[in-house]
Amino acid sequence: MRETPIAGPQLPADALDRILTGRPDAAGLPTEAYTSSEVHDYERELLQRRGWVCLGRTDEVAERGAQRAVSVAGEGLLVVRDIEQTRVFVNACRHRGHELVRSGCAIKRSTVWCAYHAWVYRLDGTLRTAPRFGDLAERDPVGMGLTPVRSEEWHGFLFVNLSGDAPPLATVAGNLGPLLTVYEPAGLVRTASHEYDVVANWKLMVENYLECYHCPSTHPELSKVQRTVHGMDFEDEGLWLGGFLDLDNSARSMSLDGTGPDWTFPLLDEERARQVCYHALLPGLFVTAMHDYLVVHRLEPQAADRTRVVCDVLFPAALLDAGADPGYAAEFWDITNRQDWQACESVQRGITRPGFAPGPLAPEEEGLGRFLATMAFLYRSGEPPTAPWPAASKLRDRNLAAAGAVGGRGAR
């Protein structure tokens, strides 16, 4: 059973209605959506706790006994690799709640062991021994086992749903899964990883990703190798948005000088091999696909004005075996990332200034507008957005009807 709606944050109703109805004077979300701790906590509950959150690549715990401690929405989780399965548990011993692995750390051990009172768990989470408790493990192996967290693997990524009642991940991802299949992402090799601590709200980074209106002035290197106009949006079915832009005629790949290997994912057709495809799976997974490699961003909201970003560069093993040096991709995207984050941080500072009011959306920002409509719907309804996502022509009608049905909950 789905959890009941919760009261939304206090945001100006007229601004949300303009976004939901697609009025000509529609603009960005109210400033409070990017600065309020109340809004941050609300989004954490609906999107981070009740939705699906990506923890990273499954190859981060590829070997049996590999264990990694992470945090989602303030809850500590332990990712454990069993024989042929990756499991996720609450990162707390069942005895006194001591952390099993310190947050942010990774280890490899044949069991899960608590350093406080030496309770030991098998990799499947069942209790093996509890010192001085006699046969407790034999008497109550299920009741005293580690607390499992709902998880699913998808294209080589590991996702969790803390509440346990979100729709199946395949439903949420919709047709994005089949669309990515041609890149065979589960078998790709991570060749570089960068972490960024960005002083900006996570939504600003989603908005930035969904439009290239800013590219000519913000990304001189990118604009030399990729066209910045005449892109197309995908027909998305699910909680994702995206589209593609073509490589410049003279460019071979997304690199600083436009050169790249003479290699293409075998299942890509000739037309798609010239496209740079951008996919944003809400709330915080970006998958950027090119003919020769993928770039993945994971957003981890830390506060209303702070977001941790992890960026991985993924290459096909066949291309690496052929002697390709993947450094051209890592260098290019690190430069591009820093340009984006600098811009997002500047926006974060700008919207906090007294009297600021967001401006209208450009024609190139249609995908961004759909994201804003989804967030406005979330604020008004008190429910996470559902999948599959209706066609663009029906989105506004559905959102407006839902907002009206709840009597403007959470708006002033």
Full DSSP string of 61-81: G-STTEEEEEEETTEEEEEEE
Count how many Cα atoms sit within 13 Å of the Cα of residue 58 in the half-sphere of its side chain: 21
**Amino acid identity, residue 28?**
G
Full DSSP string of 366-386: HHHHHHHHHHHHHHHHSS---
Average pLDDT of adjacent 10-residue blocks, the chain of 412 residues: 68 85 79 95 94 95 95 96 94 95 95 95 93 76 84 97 94 94 97 98 97 96 95 88 94 96 94 95 97 98 97 97 96 98 98 89 85 89 66 45 41 32
Residue linked to tokens 């209208």 = 360
Cα gap 296→200, rounded to integer Å: 19
Q: Which CATH architecture has domain 56-161?
A: 3-layer Sandwich (2.102)
> Which pLDDT value is given to residue 155?
97
Instruction: Give the SS3 label for residue 236.
Output: coil
Q: 3.40.50.2020, 3.90.380.10, 1.10.3720.10, 3.40.190.150: which CATH number matches 174-351?
A: 3.90.380.10
Domain ranges of the chain: 13-51+360-405, 56-161, 174-351
Rounded to whole angstroms, what are the CA distances from 368 to 17, 110, 114, 312, 362?
A: 16, 47, 46, 24, 10
pTM of the model: 0.91
Phi, then psi, of 139 in degrees rounded to 5: -75, -30
Bridge pairing between strands 86-90 and 75-81: antiparallel
Range list of β-strands (E), 183-239: 189-198, 232-233
> Which pLDDT value is given to residue 403?
46
Q: Which of 171, 172, 169, 165 is nearest to 1 (CA)?
A: 165
Contact 184, 161 (CB under 8 A): no
Cα gap 244→75, rounded to integer Å: 36
Cα gap 340→281, rounded to integer Å: 19
Query: Bridge partners of 148?
Result: 89
> Which pLDDT value is given to residue 381?
83
> Which pLDDT value is given to residue 409?
31
Tokens for 302?
């830390």
